[in-house]
């Protein structure tokens, strides 16, 4: 479950806190507060009933956290890296994350891209095999990732692909040419011969050096990942990864992970459901997803930490995603830090909530530094994760 540490303890760092650090991540949970105000609507976090989270805020500390550094795109590739304590110079390449998530090795000189079928339908196995034969002649290979998603591995010299089909309204022909476009066309031809009529969209930057050693975090890090991007990022960061479909996050298993985590470990639980509902443009579904996150992740994690009487908890989204625009947001996100002995006196104050509006006046804290401080200054990275470099370990945030 938790893989053995392969680093030596850094002398001179502050002693680790007495229990595990748990980070619970509702992907994309905050809305765009400015857009909500213009439309005169409450945000998802304001609408959702989140008794477990409210309880943490009452005795813990609400915060406002910058998860997307200036100049970087808002997304899990950037925001979740920060929640793993990594500082990010550029987002990890999407195809590389997908390859890491499914354990597909990349050789020197190779890169990975996503290939998405449009309209989104899952190709039958014989069609995937036909694509594989067509692309083998070009020195590339494919692998089914589930649903309409395929992984393409080929020469890194093919270069960057365009953004994902959901991120642009442009026709593919305007965005990519050369061998990557030709490979996508060959894949579409192979599909047609197998009776599947779909366009094939290759996407994702190449980015970063390949084949480098994974980064090593200063704590043993266990990640429950609710999406391939989260799983790939955690794998590249050197964490041990449990990838589970977001609908199947098991409350009992999560509580057991918290109960059994070594006291110097970090456990990150990522829930992709709020982001999925926001991309689908379904506000009620997003409210339901946030309520599910509260009931099935925050509540059991807090209960398990109370039972241990030790450890600490950070609840923080990786970025926002507004259900009206269906797009990611880069504003600082509301968050809360809490530990089982936390007692904040709020006499005469209304109970605060961790919503966009409620934390709007707080100073924004950079996420990697906050995580490093919560980890007792021991969180650090070594080696090279493309697009994410450290260490920020030892960086202490005034609390």
Minimal distance in Å, beta carbon 321 to Zn ion? 5
Q: Pattern 230-269, binding to Zn ion, x per CB under 5 A? A: ----------------------------------------
Minimum CB separation from Zn ion for residue 206, in Å? 21
Least distance in Å: CB of 30 to Zn ion? 12
- Cβ-proximal residues to 124 (8 Å cutoff; 6+ apart), any chain: 194, 196
Cis amide bond preceding 282, omega within 30: no
Nearer to Zn ion, 167 or 344 (CB): 167
CB of 173 to Zn ion, least distance (A): 25
Q: Which is nearer to Zn ion, 98 or 264 (CB)?
A: 98
- Measured from each CB, the residue nearest to Zn ion is 275
The least CB distance from residue 230 to Zn ion, in Å, is: 11
Residue closer to Zn ion by CB (options 98, 275) is: 275
Strands 221-225 and 266-271: parallel
Give least dist CB 332 to Zn ion, A: 17
> Cα(first)–Cα(last) distance of the chain, in Å?
32
Spatial separation of the C-alpha atoms in residues 389 and 234, rounded to whole Å: 14
> Which has the closest alpha carbon to 204: 222, 169, 229?
229
Helix ranges (H only) for the chain are: 33-39, 44-47, 51-59, 76-83, 94-102, 125-136, 178-193, 228-236, 251-260, 273-279, 283-293, 299-308, 367-374
Tell the smallest beta-carbon distance from residue 318 to Zn ion (Å). Answer: 9
Q: Is 271 in the site for Zn ion (CB under 5 A)?
A: no
By CB neighbour count within 10 A (0-12 exposed, 13-18 middle, 19+ buried), where does 136 fall?
Answer: exposed
Identified binder of Zn ion from the candidate list 31, 110, 275, 322, rule CB under 5 A:
275
In terms of CB distance, is 63 or 273 closer to Zn ion?
A: 273
Q: Are 83 and 367 in contact (CB under 8 A)?
A: yes
CB 217 within 8 A of CB 382: no
Which of these ranges, 64-72, 116-124, 183-191, 273-281, lies near Zn ion under the rule CB under 5 A? 273-281
Contact segment (CB under 5 A) with Zn ion among 8-16, 90-98, 159-167, 274-282 equals 274-282
- Kindly provide the b/e burial profile for residues 231-262, where b requires at least 16 CB atoms within 10 angstroms of the residue's own CB: bbbbbbbbbebbbbebeebeeeebbebbeebe
Segment near Zn ion (CB under 5 A); pick from 55-63, 138-146, 170-178, 275-283: 275-283
Closer to Zn ion at the Cβ: 220 or 275?
275
Are the C-beta atoms of residues 50 and 294 closer than 8 Å to each other? Answer: yes
Number of residues that bind Zn ion (CB under 5 A): 1
* Cβ proximity to Zn ion, 73 vs 383, nearer residue: 73
Candidates 245-253, 262-270, 271-279, 310-318; binding stretch for Zn ion (CB under 5 A): 271-279
Query: To which residue do tokens 């050789």 refer?
Result: 107
Peptide bond into 391 cis (omega under 30): yes
Rounded to whole angstroms, the Cα distance separating 256 from 17 reads 20
Q: Are 249 and 226 in contact (CB under 8 A)?
A: yes
Pick the closer one to Zn ion by CB: 35 or 189: 35
Closest separation in Å from C-beta 275 to Zn ion: 4
Q: How far is the CB of 168 from Zn ion (least distance, A)?
A: 14
Q: Nearer Cβ to Zn ion, position 56 or 277?
A: 277
CB contact at 8 A, 384 and 236: no
Nearer to Zn ion by Cβ, of 123 and 228: the residue is: 228
Give the shortest CB-28-to-Zn ion separation in angstroms: 5
- Choice between 263 and 325, CB closer to Zn ion: 325
Phi-psi region of 383 (alpha: psi -120 to 50; beta: other; left: phi over 0): left
Instruction: Using CB under 5 A, list all residues that contact Zn ion.
Output: 275
């Amino acid at each position: 479950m938790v893989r053995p540490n392969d680093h030596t303890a850094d002398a001179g760092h502050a002693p680790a806190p007495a229990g595990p650090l748990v980070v619970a991540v509702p992907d994309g949970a905050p809305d765009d507060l400015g857009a909500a105000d213009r439309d005169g609507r409450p945000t998802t976090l304001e609408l959702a009933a989140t008794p477990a989270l409210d309880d943490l805020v009452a005795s813990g500390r609400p915060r406002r956290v910058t998860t997307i550094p200036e100049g970087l795109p808002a997304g899990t590739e950037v925001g979740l890296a920060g929640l793993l304590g990594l500082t990010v110079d550029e987002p990890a390449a999407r195809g590389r994350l997908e390859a890491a998530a499914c354990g597909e090795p990349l050789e020197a000189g190779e890169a990975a891209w996503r290939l998405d079928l449009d309209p989104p339908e899952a190709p039958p196995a014989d069609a995937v095999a036909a694509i594989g034969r067509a692309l083998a002649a070009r020195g590339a290979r494919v692998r089914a990732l589930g649903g309409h998603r395929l992984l393409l591995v080929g020469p890194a010299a093919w270069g960057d692909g365009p953004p994902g089909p959901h991120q642009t309204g442009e026709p593919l022909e305007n965005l990519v040419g050369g061998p990557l476009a030709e490979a996508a066309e060959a894949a579409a031809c192979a599909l047609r011969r197998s009776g599947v009529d779909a366009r094939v969209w290759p996407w994702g930057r190449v980015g970063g050096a390949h084949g480098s050693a994974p980064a090593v975090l200063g704590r043993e890090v266990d990640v429950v990942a609710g999406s391939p991007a989260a799983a790939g990022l955690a794998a590249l960061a050197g964490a041990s990864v449990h990838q589970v479909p977001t609908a199947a996050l098991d409350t009992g298993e999560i509580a057991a992970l918290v109960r059994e985590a070594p006291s110097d470990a970090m456990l990150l639980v990522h829930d992709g459901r709020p982001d999925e509902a926001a991309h689908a443009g379904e506000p009620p579904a997003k409210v339901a997803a946030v309520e599910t996150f509260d009931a099935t992740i925050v509540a059991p994690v807090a209960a398990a930490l109370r039972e241990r009487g030790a450890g600490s908890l950070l609840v923080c989204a990786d970025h926002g995603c507004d259900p009206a625009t269906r797009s990611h947001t880069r504003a600082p996100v509301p968050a809360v830090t809490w530990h089982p002995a936390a007692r904040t006196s709020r006499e005469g104050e209304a109970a605060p909530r961790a919503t966009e509006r409620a934390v709007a006046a707080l100073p924004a804290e950079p996420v990697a530094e906050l995580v490093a401080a919560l980890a007792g200054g021991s969180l650090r990275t070594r080696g090279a994760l493309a697009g994410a470099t450290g260490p920020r370990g030892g960086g202490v945030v005034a609390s």
